[in-house]
Structure 1
Amino acid sequence: MGDAPFLLLAGVLAGGMNALAGGGSFVSLPALIGAGVPSVSANATSTVALFPGGLASTWVYRDGLTGVCGVPLAPVALVSLAGGLAGSLLLLWTPAALFDQVLPWLLLVATIMLAFGRRIGPALRARVRAGLPTILGLQFLLGIYGGYFGGAVGLMMMAVWSILDGAEVKALNAPRTLMVSAANGIAVLSFIVAGAVAWTACLLVGLGAVAGGWCGAHVGRTLPPAVVRAGTLLLAAGTTVAFFVRAYG
Structure 2
Amino acid sequence: MKKLAWIAITAIMLLIISACGNADSTSGTEDPKGEAAASDQEEVSNQDAAEDEDADEETSEKSSEGEDIPKVEKDENGNYILTTVGQTIDEPDTGTIELMKIKDVNETVDISPIKVTVKDIKLFQITDVQETMIDYLSMYGLENTAPEKLNYIQIAYKSENTEDKDIDWYGIQNVVLSNGEQLDAMMNDFISDDHDMDTIYYGNVKKDGTVGLLYKGNPEEVESVKIIFGESMDAESYETLTEKQQVEYEL
- TM-score past 0.5 threshold: no
For the pair shown, the structure with the greater C-alpha radius of gyration is: 2
TM-score, length of structure 2 as denominator length? 0.30
More strand by share: 2
Q: Which has the higher contact order (CA 8 A, sep 6+)?
A: 1
